Amino acid sequence: MSIALYPGTFDPMTFGHIDLAKRALKIFDRVVVAIGVNPQKNPIFSAEERSDMIREALNDDRFEVDSYEGLTVHYAEKRGIHTVIRSLRTLDEFESEIAMTTANRVMLPEFESIYLPPSSQYAHISSTLVRVIGQFGGDLSPFVPPHIEKRLREVFPQA
């Protein structure tokens, strides 16, 4: 069985994330969506809240949702996963992702990175953009599913 790791903060998960995860299932039998938890950051949703929202958004038994702290490559090694799925939206992301791929392969030579470009209708979407739009009361429906929009409205009640 082929398994891929799809790591991210997913704060919140967007239509772009959902699209990429579902496209990964065309290549792999299972995808582990792993929420990276950085104790130095203050996400708007806890890892548990994000897990719940992701499970509802993906709604497919071939996805597993988990969370981890530390390096993604260490988490992958612990889980016995040797392939990571990443998206590339910009040239800046390409440069940083290549550097990360190189470092990961130094630490775990069998660790492979597969880059999927975003679908054109989602290329402009990021979690940061969604948070800003939510904070200022903009329409979130083009960017996130209704259940996530509802949660964002609870976080940003003035919106």
For residue 149, what pLDDT is reported?
A: 97
pLDDT per residue rounded down to tens, the chain (159 residues): 899 999 999 999 999 999 999 999 999 999 999 999 988 889 999 999 999 999 999 999 999 999 999 999 999 999 999 999 999 877 778 888 889 889 999 999 999 999 999 999 999 999 999 999 999 999 999 999 999 999 999 999 864
What angle separates helix 146-155 from helix 47-58, to the nearest 10 degrees? 160
Taking only the tens place, the pLDDT of each residue in 107-135 is 999 999 999 999 999 999 999 999 999 99
Is residue 79 annotated as part of the catalytic site, yes or no? no
Q: According to CATH, what is the number of the domain 3-121?
A: 3.40.50.620
Q: Which of 17, 50, 86, 151 is catalytic?
A: 17
Neighbours of 73 (CB within 10 A): 21
For residue 110, what pLDDT is reported?
A: 95
Q: Which of 86, 87, 127, 151 is catalytic?
A: 127
**Domain map of the chain by residue range?**
3-121
Write down the pTM of the prediction: 0.94
For residue 91, what pLDDT is reported?
A: 73
Q: Which of 23, 62, 89, 105 is catalytic?
A: 89
Is residue 131 annotated as part of the catalytic site, yes or no? no
Tokens coding 94: 């390409």
Residue whose token pair is 């950051």: 41
